[in-house]
Amino acid sequence: MSALSTPKPSMLEGEINQTLIRMTIPMILGMFILMTFGLVDTFFISLLGTQELAAISFTFPITFTVISLNIGLGIGTAAVIGRLIGADDHANARLVATAALMTVTCLVGMLSLLGYKSIDFIFLTLGASPELLIHIHDYMSIWYIGAMFLALPMVGNSVLRASGDTKTPSMIMATGGAINAVLDPLLIFGYGPIEGMGIKGAAIATTIAWGVGVVWILVLLIKRHLMTPRLLSPTEFLAHAKGIFTIGIPAAGANMLTPIAVAVVTAIVADFGDAAVAAWGVGGRLESIACIILLALSMSLPPLISQNFGANNITRVYYAYKISIGFVLLFQLGIFFVLYLVSDYIALIFTDDGAVATLIILFLMVVPLGYGAQGVVVLTNSAFNAIHQPMAALTLNTLRLFVFFVPFCFLGSVWYGLMGLFVGAVIANVVMAGMSFFWFRYQINILRHHHDQIVQP
């Protein structure tokens, strides 16, 4: 019997706390090592100099745009497959998985080609200097090719998580991160007969690591009968990709708004000089590590919610959401205090430039205060997508980024410089956290009334 045809009973029954712990713990290690892709690249590239560090900082909003498309389609895939499993419809779940892989391959390919052809236009618009553009070209010309190798593992991992398996995706992510960490110094600086390639070597190392993931995930999905191992006919594809597009495209749009907003703020930061951009880039990479538990929970919570939503266990859905919110607020507050205390030491790891170090310290003493509130928004978006309300998630993210985050950062920078920009980011997250929580609770009450069913957790 296939893994997909036997959903884990604990997803629909038993203690929610224990289920979330069981699903989240494997994700933590995988996410931690996955996030080291950017952090390891940033560390080794920082050894090349401030210009290279500033160049890689400019690339983050663009690379995350492509990654966001993968994340969005993965969210749509997991939501549709999870609901089908909860409703005991496993045959269609396999077809949806295949349609998702076909979809992401085409869309990421087109987006990467467009990005490759417009490197100069995009980064000059963001405020990169001609000197930095040379380094950006070296990195992005390779990265866009490698993006194709990232798409399949990301969506394939969503299929595994939707079926309740969070351990295997973690292993795949961890292996990719380890390969990248080993190859980075070798290809950036060279060793023996291998000539150092500088910033271009970092992109090549990442591409190789992602390539390994492609082979691994396809073999697993076919072996476990989690997908249909053939190209779907146009009729089949349209029928089974519909749900993915309905949820995945708004989810991708919501995720892609983040790098757009970050790009706008990066342009604001660029007015304060290359040192400020370098510090902003390091802070963004550190944020991924500081929020690792949140990110892992945001990937393990949706399958639980989707399956219970498919089974009409609405009270169980809300209980899982509520305890996740409470945990993230407390945990991220603790992370803030830790980063505040060790900010000096962290800055010294990434740079010996005094100006850059000072700004990294300032970032770490302010911005992480809002990570808990940001976590509430992230989990609420995940929960909305899991209950098949992607437009609510898109609306929330639009409000957070373009009604609060960007305007508050801009006004803060005008009035109080970089300190004001950082404080503005924190305030924006706090305001949106409250709005997100109450909106989701309102939607849950509507669902309870619609299903006319209350299930005790």
Cα–Cα dist 412/370, whole Å? 15
Segment 120-135 shows an average pLDDT of 84
DSSP bridge partners of 194: 191
pLDDT tens across 59-95, in order? 877 887 777 777 777 777 887 887 787 777 778 888 8
pLDDT tens across 310-327, in order? 777 888 888 889 999 999
Query: How high is the pLDDT of residue 8?
Result: 45
Query: How high is the pLDDT of residue 287?
Result: 83
pLDDT tens across 353-405, in order? 777 888 888 888 898 999 999 999 999 988 898 888 888 888 988 898 899 99
Q: Is the sign of the CA dihedral 63, 150, 376, 336 positive or negative?
A: negative
pLDDT tens across 185-215, in order? 889 888 877 787 888 888 898 889 888 988 9
| Model confidence, pTM | 0.72
Cα–Cα dist 409/272, whole Å? 14
Query: How high is the pLDDT of residue 216?
Result: 92
Q: How many helices (H) and strands (E) does the chain have?
A: 15, 2
Domain ranges of the chain: 11-451
Between 130-134, 233-237, 453-457, the lowest mean confidence (pLDDT) is in 453-457
Q: Cα–Cα distances in Å, from 423 out to 80, 137, 152, 365, 427? A: 38, 33, 38, 10, 6
Residues above pLDDT 90, as percent of the chain: 13
pLDDT above 80: residue 248: no
Q: Containing H/E element for 191?
A: strand 190-191
Query: How high is the pLDDT of residue 18?
Result: 76
Give the residue from 65, 79, 68 showing the smallest Cα distance to 390: 79
Segment 266-294 shows an average pLDDT of 81
Segment 272-277 shows an average pLDDT of 80
Amino acid at 230: R
Segment 287-296 shows an average pLDDT of 80
Query: How high is the pLDDT of residue 297?
Result: 84
Q: Containing H/E element for 194?
A: strand 194-195
Query: How high is the pLDDT of residue 329?
Result: 93
Cα–Cα dist 52/353, whole Å? 13
| Residues 23/166, Cβ–Cβ less than 8 Å | yes
Which residues neighbour 445 within 8 Å (Cβ) at sequence distance 6 or greater?
none
Query: How high is the pLDDT of residue 6?
Result: 42
Cα–Cα dist 297/25, whole Å? 9
Give the residue from 430, 264, 209, 218 showing the smallest Cα distance to 336: 430
Give the residue from 327, 3, 1 showing the smallest Cα distance to 168: 3
Neighbours of 212 (CB within 10 A): 16
